[in-house]
Amino acid sequence: MTISQSNRQKARSLTWQLVAMAIGAFAFGFLVLPPMYDVFCDVTGLGGRTNEVATVVEEPTTTGRVVRLEFATTVNQYAPWEFGSDVDSMTVDIGGVYETTFTARNLSDKSLVAQAVPSVSPPQAARHFKKLECFCFTSQEFVANEEKQMPVRFIIDSDLPAHIDTVTLSYTFFDATKMARANVAATN
């Protein structure tokens, strides 16, 4: 009675349902979670990501509210760069368009590719920090010993939470030479 034919049929279909569930869970982990996490980060500013790119420059409408903007720079894994911001900090009118520059120098005798990764702290400020132009949008090629001054143009929008009075924009310089070469090889 327990193992009748129809029961075996039921067992088989349940087995396949469970297999499908496991495959679904794998797909969820592998295909759904990463993009979901990106969206989540963009919305909450988790990790201080600033993927915000302002495409349309409206008339700058300054609000009179000011915040202190600080710059910090790091070079990852002792990569052969000297990298720093040209000013330590600036006072920024919320809603205004600003530009500042960073300078990097290739300390090696080889040409290298750098990728700058921006991060904004506190994270709640990240989505209100909008970049019009940034050297972090693409990777930067440096020939041997080349020094470059690289601009960032940005707006801090007026929705910045009222409790924030200091914002830090930080860049980490990664050596992306291998990654870039691989991409070139792949496209060729």
Partner 1 sequence: MSSAEISTHHDAAHGEHHGPAKGIRRWLFATNHKDIGTMYLVFSLLMFFTGGFMALIIRTELFSPGLQFVHPEFFNQMTTMHALIMVFGAVMPAFVGLANWMIPMMIGAPDMALPRMNNWSFWILPVAFGILLSTLWMPGGAPASGWTMYPPLVLQTGDAFPFLIFSVHLMGFSSIMGAINIIVTIINMRAPNMTLLAMPMFVWTWLITAYLLIAVMPVLAGAVTMLLTDQFFGTSFFLAAGGGDPVMFQHIFWFFGHPEVYIMILPAFGVVSEIIPTFSRKPLFGHDSMVYAASSIAFLSFIVWAHHMFTVGMPLTGQLFFMFATLLIAVPTGVKVFNWVATMWQGAMTFETPMLFSLGFVFLFTIGGFSGLMLAVVPADIQYHDSYFVVAHFHYVLVPGSIFGIMAATYYWLPKWAGHMYNEKLGRIHFWMSAIFVNVTFFPMHFLGLAGMPRRIPDYSTQFADFNSIASVGAIGFGLSQLLFVYIVFRCVRGDGATATAEVWDNPRGLEWTVPSPAPYHTFEEPPEVTDGKAFS
Partner 2 sequence: MIQKLCLSALAILFASSAGAEWELNMPRGVTELSAETYNLHMQVFYWCCAIAVVVFGAMIYSLVKHRKAAGAKPANFSHSMTAEMIWTIIPIIILMIMAVPSAETLIKLEDGRKPDLTVVVTGYQWKWHYEYLGEDVAYYSSLARTSVDARRKNSGIDPNTVENYLLDVDNPLVVPVGAKVRVLITSNDVIHAWWVPDLAIKKDAVPGFMNETWFRAELTGVYRGQCAELCGKDHGYMPVVVEVVEPTAFQNWLDSSRPEN
* Interface with partner 2 (CB under 8 A): 47-49, 70, 72, 74-78, 88-89, 117, 119-122, 163-166, 168, 170, 172, 174
The minimum distance between CB 148 and partner 2, in angstroms, equals 21
- Kind of pairing between the strands at 147-156 and 140-142: unpaired
Q: Using CA atoms, how far apart are residues 159 and 93, in angstroms rounded to an integer?
A: 13
Q: Using CA atoms, how far apart are residues 140 and 103, in angstroms rounded to an integer?
A: 12
In the complex, the residues that contact partner 1 under the rule CB under 8 A are 1-5, 7-8, 10-11, 14-15, 18-19, 21-30, 33-34, 37, 41, 44-49, 76, 115, 117, 123-124, 172, 174-176, 179, 182
Contact of residue 103 among partner 1, partner 2, none (CB under 5-8 Å per partner type): none
Beta-bridge partner residues of 90:
69
| Structural tokens at position 162 | 């009222």
User: What value does the CA radius of gyration of the chain take, rounded to a whole number of Å?
Assistant: 24
Q: Using CA atoms, how far apart are residues 67 and 154, in angstroms rounded to an integer?
A: 14
Contact of residue 120 among partner 1, partner 2, none (CB under 5-8 Å per partner type): partner 2
Q: Which is nearer to partner 1, 99 or 159 (CB)?
A: 159
Contact of residue 95 among partner 2, partner 1, none (CB under 5-8 Å per partner type): none
> In this structure, are residues 86 and 102 in contact, taking their beta carbons and an 8 Å threshold?
yes
Q: Which is nearer to partner 2, 140 or 172 (CB)?
A: 172
